[in-house]
Amino acid sequence: MWRLIVCLALLFSGSTANAAGLREPIELFDTDKQRVVASFENTTGFQEEAKQILQSVSGRVLEFNPSLDSAMIVKIPLVPPKPIKLKSANLDAMIAEMFVIMPKKGERRPWLILHTKEYETVVVEFIEKVDDLRKQVKLP
């Protein structure tokens, strides 16, 4: 699973912010096409949606290898990084970017891959609905 997560991270471009302090764009990745299919300006709307999703994290993903097949993935660089604390999952970190994994077929609820400022990767479940995020990235 970790090899897949690392490969996914490498498919997306760059770091959390460039030297000029500008926000890195939001990217929409289609795992069936294996490429970024759209980019969006990293607006306060995206940042607020990311904050809501992070606040709804319920725990770590318990599946050994959650599938990335047939999914849309939204990469959201967080500017500035956002804190997450969840005692039940032994999680206390600053999140630099998040990947919202949205399976196309609805067999599984969406989940997150989080990258911390310390370059750690955390895979978690969340409760927040993704309807608003889907609208922002123009998905049905």
Residue indicated by tokens 């306060």: 44
Do the beta carbons of residue 122 and residue 93 sit within 8 Å?
yes
Per-residue pLDDT tens digits of the chain, which is 140 residues long: 544 554 455 555 444 344 344 589 999 999 999 999 999 999 999 999 999 999 999 999 998 888 899 999 999 999 999 999 999 888 999 999 999 999 998 789 999 999 999 999 999 999 999 999 999 999 98
Residues 18, 82, 88, 73, Cα dihedral to 10°? -60
Q: Alpha helix locations (H) across the chain?
A: 2-11, 44-55, 131-136
Q: Which residue has 């990217």 as its token pair?
A: 27
pLDDT on residue 17: 40
What does the buried/exposed string (b/e) look like for 71-101 if buried means 16 or more CB atoms within 10 Å of the residue's CB?
A: bbbbbbbbbebbebebeebebebebbbbbbb
**Residue indicated by tokens 């978690």:** 124
